[in-house]
Amino acid sequence: MNLSRQLRLLGLAMLALVATGALGATGAQAGVFTAGAFPATVTGSTSEAHEFGTLLGTMKCGPSFDAKLEAASGTLTVVPNYGTSCKLGIRVVHVKNNGCDFRWNAGNTQEADVVSGSMDIVCPDNQKMDFEVTSEPVCHLTVPGQAELGTLTYTNNTAAGDVDLDFNLGNVFYELDNGCPFVGAFFGGTYKGSSTLTADHEGAGTTFQVD
């Protein structure tokens, strides 16, 4: 076989590899958040109590969420609203976001109407979410920014035009100050719960889904 034919065959093989890689990338393409009309205001209500598990025990919360979706996107930046909805046993927990948001990421389709995802906690420089546990002294559980917490599961309710979101997060990093029975920085926090996400456009309801 002459050199020019060898080079031509090698070029064809390389093109085949590139094409295969492109197909693989398309098959693994991440999902997107979309609405029936833009811009859309997305809100989330608690459908099952959210449970934040740490060395202090299990904190139970009933948060709501707010977000703006300007166009179809693979991410959604969300303001979590906990207020005083959290309790650790009988103790009330006051939650301050301190500018921290949740960023929900849409991942791959698992089955019809079910999409996986992950969550980032995004904070301004030198800021953390503060879960202030009522006690003597006050115990501060703080959560700094961190990325790729998983898993989130989005389930589209096509008839209702909304989405059920299930949280099953592990390895959440958190810190406890010297007002707490444990002090230091810890991995292994867990966060579980369910919410329902709906959308409206200019005051009127519109569909919301994760494709």
Q: Domain ranges for the chain, please list them.
A: 1-30, 31-210
Average pLDDT, integer, range 95-113: 97
Q: What is the pLDDT of residues 116-152, one digit of tens each?
A: 999 999 999 999 999 999 999 999 999 999 999 999 9
Average pLDDT, integer, range 82-98: 97
Tell me: cis bond preceding 58? Omega within 30 of 0 counts: no
Q: What is the pLDDT of residues 5-16, one digit of tens each?
A: 443 443 444 444
What is the predicted pLDDT for the residue at 67? 98
Report the alpha-carbon distance of residue 46 to residue 194 in Å, rounded. 6
Q: Tell me the pTM.
A: 0.86
Report the alpha-carbon distance of residue 62 to residue 70 in Å, rounded. 27
One DSSP character per residue, the chain reads --HHHHHHHHHHHHHHHHHHHHHHHHHT----EEESSSSEEEEEEEEEEEEEEETTEEEEE--EEEEEE-S-BSEEEEEEE-TT-EEETTEEEEEE-TT-EEEEEEEEEEETTEEEEEEEEE--TT--EEEEE-SSSPEEEEE--EEEEEEEEEEEETTTTEEEEEEEEEEEEEEE-TTSSS-EEEEEEEEEEEEEEEEEETTEEE-EEE-
CATH annotation of 31-210: 2.40.160
Residue 59 has pLDDT above 70, yes or no: yes
Average pLDDT, integer, range 162-181: 98
- 3-class SS letters over 10-50: HHHHHHHHHHHHHHHHHHCCCCCEEECCCCEEEEEEEEEEE
Residue 73 has pLDDT above 90, yes or no: yes
